[in-house]
Structure 1
Amino acid sequence: MAARRKARRRRKARGRAVPSGGGLLLGLLVLAVFWSRIWVYVVVLAAVAAVGGLGWWLWRTDRLVRGRDREWRRQDAVAAGRRTLAEVDGMTGTEFEDLVAALCRRDGCAEVRRVGGAGDQGADVVGRLPDGRTMVVQCKRYAPSAVIASREVRDLLGSKVHFGMDVAVFVTTTRFSRQAMDVVLKNGVIAVNRDLLGSWNSGASLPSLMGVNGSGQGDATHRARWRTTYGRQKRRRPGRPLRDGPDAV
């Protein structure tokens, strides 16, 4: 009995089976009969599929481009972090300005451009901080044994007024004199000395450096170590300026 039931089920299944090409022929026949009514829907469906495919391709391309850009920025940040201050000391003034501009861009600053050169009005880099405020940057690549004088900070304040900027930033490879720090604190200048520049170059962000601005340049022990490491600044005759220019060391 069981064998007979299995045989009947197989015969019914064969009776219901559609030939391999029957479904396709039936679909084409229905399409041909009702084409005048459904062609609009078919065209719309094809258009939607085409637009969807194009959108997916654009999305995928954008993801790939953004991914390559992020990887390039990550590698550039790693390379910058490995750059030593000794290498920075060996840069020309223009290269140092380019480095400062690159660090600003790395930290999310916008519209950053280098303006240093003849007639720069004391400004080397201008841009916009991540919070939207405009900034003007003065870059001084001096020998570590040198000291930034107060008049140089006042020159930067003049540039801030000239360019109509919100924030003034002074970046140097050395330290600020006591009188220069007084000008910094009284006028809200962001002073990035050699120590802070090392932190910035190694990955600290510019906004984080602004948070510790004016906190000092170390105690007497730190200053003694500084003089031991870099030597004591040679005394200058009153009114004689420090060496200033692209190749000043």
Structure 2
Amino acid sequence: MGRKRRSASARRREARLKVFGIGVSVAVVLLVVFWHLVWVYVVVALAVAGVGASGWTLWRRDRTARREDRRWRERDAVAAGHRTLAEVDRMTGTEFEDFVAGLCRRDGCTQVERVGGAGDNGADIKGVLPDGRNMIVQCKRYAPGNAISAREIRDMMGALQHHRAQVAVFVTTSRFTRPAQNLCTEHGIWALHRDMLGLWNNGASLRSFPQVNGAGQGDRQHLARWKHTYGK
């Protein structure tokens, strides 16, 4: 049975090839016979096909060049210390603290050191601002749907007194609740929520954030979309 099936299949293939060969032969004969009538159309068709192929090739090359340029820019940004927020979200707590410390140094802060860990007394980073004031930084790498509570801001206020610092900076990958934001505004704590962190990472100076100090998290509709997206 197997041999019969294979031979039948072979016969069908041979028949299809014969039909194809006959069709090609007929087409060639007709083309030769009526060449004086169709040569213009053939030439135009070939020209259009050539232009189309050239255009397609140039488009593919342009797209490839753009893609490679984007990759180079991304690699250059990573080499320069920039990270996307998606990359920041994948960091460990220690990596996030090192990342924030690097941004502080970039903006001219001195004596920057990471002190986070057990017994840090509420300060993950300590340093000196360019104007000479001592600062402490608290870093919270939360999921975007979580929020910084007022209790965490009160803890930061205690850390400010404990370390005898003049400036407290709270940096998070999420957002601040309204009571937490109000506490930051009332007590002069620099509150950098997720959007501000993105701006800071993209080149905005740390010293520009006290002017807005936690604002910019959006209106009620913005927060409603946030809660709908992250369920918080």
- Shorter-chain TM range is 0.5 to 0.7
Q: Which amino acid aligns with 2:135?
A: M
TM-score in terms of structure 1 length? 0.60
* Contact persistence 1:110–1:128 (CA under 8 A): yes
For 1:169 and 1:119, how far apart are their aligned partners in 2? 19
- 1:163-184 CA deviation, whole Å, 9 max, x = no partner? 1000010000000011111211
Q: Which runs of 5+ in 1 are unaligned?
A: 1-74, 234-249
For 2:167 and 2:84, how far apart are their aligned partners in 1? 27
The root-mean-square deviation of aligned C-alpha atoms, in Å, is: 1.6
| Greater share of residues in helix | 2
For 2:197 and 2:79, how far apart are their aligned partners in 1? 16
- C-alpha change, 1:162 and 1:178, in structure 2 (3 Å) is same
Q: Which amino acid aligns with 2:191?
A: A
Moved over 6 A (4+): 75-78
Correspondence 1:128 to 2:132: no
2:207 corresponds to which residue? Answer: 207
Q: Which amino acid aligns with 1:183?
A: L
TM-score in terms of structure 2 length? 0.64
Q: Which amino acid aligns with 2:122?
A: G
| Percent of aligned pairs sharing the same letter | 60
Correspondence 1:232 to 2:226: no
1:87 corresponds to which residue? Answer: 87
1:190 corresponds to which residue? Answer: 190
Greater RCO (CA < 8 Å, at least 6 residues apart): 1
For 1:146 and 1:214, how far apart are their aligned partners in 2? 16
Provide the secondary structure at the position in 2 that maps to 1:170: strand
Q: Which runs of 5+ in 2 are unaligned?
A: 1-75
Q: CA deviation at 1:149?
A: 0.7
* Contact persistence 1:173–1:194 (CA under 8 A): yes
* Contact persistence 1:77–1:106 (CA under 8 A): no
Larger Rg: 1
- 1:102-138 CA deviation, whole Å, 9 max, x = no partner? 0000000011000001110011001011111110100
Provide the secondary structure at the position in 1 that maps to 2:136: strand
1:223 corresponds to which residue? Answer: 223
Provide the secondary structure at the position in 2 that maps to 1:120: coil
2:179 corresponds to which residue? Answer: 179
2:146 corresponds to which residue? Answer: 146
* Contact persistence 2:122–2:155 (CA under 8 A): yes
Provide the secondary structure at the position in 1 that maps to 2:186: helix
For 2:102 and 2:108, how far apart are their aligned partners in 1? 10
